[in-house]
Amino acid sequence: MTTLRLATRGSAQARTQAEFVAARLAERGVDAELVIIETHGDRTQATNVPLHTIGGQGVFVKEVQAAVLDGRADVAVHSAKDLPTETDPRLTIGAYTERRDAADALIGATLDDLPEGATVATGSVRRRAQLALARPDLQFVELRGNIHTRLERIPDGGAIVMAVAALQVLGMTERLDERLDPGRFVPAIGQGCVALECRLDDPATTASLAAIDHEPTRTAVEIERAFLGELGSGCSLPVGAHVVDGRLTTFLAADDVARVHTETTVMSGDHGRDLGTARAVAHTARERVDAN
């Protein structure tokens, strides 16, 4: 029997996620092993260089995809939220794993306990925008590195923001000071789950991935990705979208939160129609926050 090779970054979070995927495959009688990809982004992550200056999250994704495209691995394992909506035409998302908690968390202090003018470390424009709306007095600084590095960089008297799911993966949810309500602090598209890509021309791997695909997660994340995709790849605005309990909640901001659009839409349950609704919401959101 052949062994499925899973390409993943080497961080504890990435490895643990990939090991979890290997366990799901094993339940289906599919052997899997990890192929660790040390990416350029990983090599520079200790330097606190803002991620966008080296090409954004996309740089990690591309190097893991490359391992599958050139035959070093069969499956590319990604955090779904790091996967751009425009993916490589030679690859397909063969499975999503069941979503963990999609919410963000504050570590260091709760929102109410942060003193006036406190510093919050997060590199995410979405998290900065949402926190600034709740607390206009907060100051923001950059935060990069793997989860353990980040946990050592809580500003004095301040806090950092992280995905609850990242703490769940590492078994560190006891570090969490406040889970931010995802209805108000709308999570990133795909936050909390793992997307598995394989080559379109690899039917055996496609079949193995289909066996572990978590259908409710796929449905939700495809709707969120339809919203993001319609905003366009050039969109660098603070953006969030989250499907839960049959509702799509979206967030889009511009101009340092001078303009914000947030909306909750009930999904019909007809997937094709819901994808269309998500795209329509994207148009509305864009119109509402656009300067002209």
Ligand X SMILES: NCc1[nH]cc(CCC(=O)O)c1CC(=O)O
**Cβ–Cβ under 8 Å, residues 35 and 7:** yes
**Measured from the CB of residue 58, what is the shortest distance to ligand X in angstroms?**
11
Say which DSSP state 180 is in.
P
Residues annotated catalytic, as ranges: 82
Residue 195 binding ligand X, by CB under 6 A? no
Residue 81 binding ligand X, by CB under 6 A? yes
Residue 166 binding ligand X, by CB under 6 A? yes
Stretch that binds ligand X, among 3-11, 187-195, 216-224, 263-271 (CB under 6 A): 187-195
Stretch that binds ligand X, among 40-48, 77-85, 109-117, 135-143 (CB under 6 A): 77-85
Conformation bin of residue 171: beta by default, left when phi > 0, alpha when psi is -120 to 50:
left
Residue 107 binding ligand X, by CB under 6 A? no
Residue 192 binding ligand X, by CB under 6 A? yes
**Measured from the CB of residue 53, what is the shortest distance to ligand X in angstroms?**
15
Reduced to 3 states (helix: H, G, I; strand: E, B; else coil), residue 8 is strand
Q: Which is nearer to ligand X, 124 or 277 (CB)?
A: 124
**Measured from the CB of residue 169, what is the shortest distance to ligand X in angstroms?**
7
Q: Which of positions 206-265 make contact with ligand X (CB under 6 A)?
A: none
Sheet holding 119-121, edge to edge: 139-141, 119-121, 159-163, 104-107, 178-179
Number of H helices, E strands in the chain: 9, 13
**Cβ–Cβ under 8 Å, residues 241 and 250:** yes
Inter-CA distances, 278 with 87, 112, 220, 281, Å: 19, 33, 11, 5
- What residues line the site for ligand X (CB under 6 A)? 57, 79, 81-82, 162-163, 165-166, 191-193
